[in-house]
Amino acid sequence: MSNQHDLDQRKLLSALCHGSIFLSSVIVSVAIPIAILFVTDDPIVKANAKEALNFHINLYIYAFVSILLIVVIIGFLFLAILGMVSLIMPIIALIKVLDDPSQPYRYPFIFRLI
């Protein structure tokens, strides 16, 4: 029974890390994975929290670059693509961590700074 509880907790915390991006406040959406990173002892949940934070950081970097490129038409296209990616990739992460909670999800094409 304890094993099932641990698995359910792992699913919940991992899903919270990746799903936090959908919250409206930038501070709250970043604070959730940070809090989970420091509160949990589960290495899979920690890996998911780090990955979610790295995804957030990468989105902010790419958005900043897009804003700089906005003068050029490609900036608008890149910003539109970034908007779609910021919606689609966390949904994929949520599905993956709920499907297989024993493996941390890794976003493709991001720099891992944490």
- Write out pLDDT tens, residues 88-102: 999 999 999 999 988
pLDDT at 26: 72
Give CA–CA dist 68/77, Å, rounded: 13
For residue 105, is it within any domain? no
In the predicted structure, residue 68 carries a pLDDT above the cut 90 = no
For residue 13, is it within any domain? yes
For residue 114, is it within any domain? no
Give CA–CA dist 26/4, Å, rounded: 33
Q: Which domain holds residue 47?
A: 2-99
Instruction: Give the percent of the chain with pLDDT over 70.
Output: 93
Query: pLDDT tier at 24 (50, 70, 90 boundaries)?
Result: low
Q: Is the pTM of this model over 0.85?
A: no
| The two three-digit tokens of residue 98, written as one number | 């709920």
For residue 70, is it within any domain? yes
For residue 44, is it within any domain? yes
For residue 109, is it within any domain? no
For residue 107, is it within any domain? no
Nearest to 48 by CA among 107, 104, 108, 109: 104
For residue 112, is it within any domain? no
In the predicted structure, residue 75 carries a pLDDT above the cut 80 = no
For the chain, how many structural domains are there in total?
Answer: 1
Nearest to 114 by CA among 56, 40, 39, 31: 56
